[in-house]
Amino acid sequence: MPIWNEKYECMSRDEMTALQTERLVAQVKYIYENVPYYRELMEKKGVLPGDIKHIEDLKYLPFLTKQDLRDTYPYGLFAADTKDIIELHASSGTTGKQVVTGYTRKDIDIWAEAMARTLTSAGADKSSFVQVAYGYGLFTGGFGAHHGAQKIGATAIPISSGNTARQIAVLKDFGTTILACTPSYALYIAETLEEMGIDKSELSLKAGVFGAEPWSEEMRDEIERRLGITATDIYGLTEITGPGVSFECYDRSGLHVNEDHFVPEIIDPATGEVLPHGSVGELVFSCITKEGMPLLRYRTRDITSLNYEKCACGRTLVRMGKVQGRTDDMLIIRGVNVFPSQIEGVLLDLGKTAPYYMIIVDRQGVLDTFEVHVEMLDEFFSDEVKQLEKLENEIRGKLQSVLGISPKVKLVAPKSIPRSEGKAVRVIDRRKK
């Protein structure tokens, strides 16, 4: 499989360290001079730009969190003059104020480059038709995939998310080869295709670049099987640039981080201490090339680990493990940590239900209640209550052995769980008042 930019994706560790060092030193000076908020944080911590001489000195810099973005909303962390900002994006955020980011022309080029690497890794080239079914608008998914597709000279089809029947007409009539959307939307598209009686062999689709939400390996198998494609995991966040921060290669052994632009660290979320390579902890990013809103040591709240070994694909870019979820997505139910993606893995692996589920957590008195609603397959719908109870028990047993906690499992009617066109909402936590 081709590599978009061998020079940067395959450089030796020594070359990468030298490049990151040079870029970080310049970036810290630029931010110190142009972002009073961060200058103050540095001074409070007793760090001056001259103290940062090597990429390893990154650990001396102060962290930024979503709270800092809220406190400086909307432009307080911008380093460039607003007259040089050519595009704005924002994430709606389910809690609190939206997070805003701004790009200079150079930042858009960096973003396009990161997405060009991502799409190339998934098999896209000049002749590809990339159907961008991520939402366009303030969300970064649509425009990120669009900028990247155009950078490699592929044809971007900017359909945005939603209107699934039209998505399918476009997939078929325009000869789409690459689909870009959330994994949950890919599944919904597959389901609709089947309902419309269109066989996947009637499409030219070869691959998908799916991200923006956690998804399990079992979900990947399901999408690949039903759409007849290779499904690649892509990761990113608005604060750092949007999609393209990291991407999988054919080896599927983690996501390569575009670390010549976005330097990752793993910290202990409780103490902020940098953890040794291979440890699982909170992912932190520093933008060493961006001009618009270049964050240093931004705490993502995403939980993963880093692997610095060279990959079979030839890239030397560090790999981050697939993100299971965020610290704030993790449910703590009766003291046990539960990620929704673990539940997804169990359900899809069992394969006796539809791949749609909803997790409902509540509190009765002092005790947490934990229910998993799972959609039945059409053929089970007419089954006797006894049969359904048997399946519910089987699911409960499997969940109990994986999670270490036993939920109440309820099979619900086919098509009764809402389908997702963007990021799926799979948890209702009524304990949060």
Out of 107, 213, 368, 375, point to the residue binding ligand DLL (CB under 6 A): 213
State which residue has the least CB distance to ligand DLL: 211
Count of residues engaged in binding ligand DLL, rule: CB under 6 A? 20
Q: Does 235 bind ligand DLL (CB under 6 A)?
A: yes
* Listed ranges 33-41, 50-58, 229-237, 359-367: which one lies at the site for ligand DLL (CB under 6 A): 229-237
Q: In whole angstroms, how far apart are CA 425 and each of 32, 234, 352?
A: 39, 19, 22
Work out which of 16, 64, 110, 234 binds ligand DLL, going by CB under 6 A: 234
Contact between 206 and ligand DLL by CB under 6 A: the answer reads no
Q: Which is nearer to ligand DLL, 326 or 415 (CB)?
A: 326
Subset of residues 322 to 341 that bind ligand DLL, contact rule: CB under 6 A:
323, 326
Nearer to ligand DLL, 25 or 212 (CB): 212
Tell me: does residue 295 bind ligand DLL (CB under 6 A).
no
Among 123, 148, 208, 214, the residue binding ligand DLL under the rule CB under 6 A is 214
Q: Pattern 133-172, binding to ligand DLL, x per CB under 6 A?
A: -x-----xx-------------------------------
Residue span binding ligand DLL (CB under 6 A) among the ranges 20-28, 63-71, 166-174, 238-246:
238-246
Which region among 206-214, 220-228, 309-317, 348-356 touches ligand DLL (by CB under 6 A)? 206-214
The smaller minimum CB distance to ligand DLL, of residues 211 and 254, is found at: 211
Q: Which of 72, 104, 230, 238 binds ligand DLL (CB under 6 A)?
A: 238
Q: How far apart are CA 395 and CA 389, in angstroms?
A: 10
Q: How far is the CB of 161 from ligand DLL (least distance, A)?
A: 11
Structure tokens at 140: 């970064």
300 binds ligand DLL (CB under 6 A): yes
Between 28 and 145, whose beta carbon lies closer to ligand DLL?
A: 145
- How far apart are CB 143 and ligand DLL at their closest, in Å? 10
* Residue of the chain from 212, 293, 296, 348 that contacts ligand DLL (CB under 6 A): 212
282 binds ligand DLL (CB under 6 A): no
In the complex, least distance from residue 236 CB atom to ligand DLL, rounded to whole angstroms:
4
**Window contacting ligand DLL (CB under 6 A); options: 58-66, 168-176, 237-245, 273-281:** 237-245
* Closer by beta carbon to ligand DLL, 235 or else 370: 235
For residue 113, give Cα distances in angstroms to 29, 144, 152, 260, 293.
24, 10, 9, 11, 18
Q: Nearest approach, Cβ of 181 to ligand DLL (angstroms)?
A: 8
* Interacting residues with ligand DLL between 55 and 94 (CB under 6 A): 91
Give Cα separations from 147 to 3, 105, 111, 141, 256 (angstroms). 18, 12, 7, 10, 19
208 lies in the binding site for ligand DLL (CB under 6 A): no
Give the one residue of 211, 264, 292, 422 binding ligand DLL; rule: CB under 6 A: 211
Query: Does 302 contact ligand DLL by CB under 6 A?
Result: yes
Peptide bond connecting 355 to the previous residue in cis, omega within 30 degrees of 0: no
Residues in contact with 115: Cβ distance below 8 Å, sequence separation at least 6, in sequence order: 144, 145, 147, 148, 149, 151, 243, 244
Q: Does 236 bind ligand DLL (CB under 6 A)?
A: yes
Contact between 233 and ligand DLL per CB under 6 A: yes
Q: How many CA atoms lie within 13 A of 427 on its CB side?
A: 23
Q: Closer to ligand DLL by CB, 238 or 258: give it.
A: 238
- Closest to 421 in 3D by CA, of 149, 187, 115: 187
- Residues within the interface to ligand DLL (CB under 6 A): 91, 134, 140-141, 211-214, 233-238, 242-243, 300, 302, 323, 326
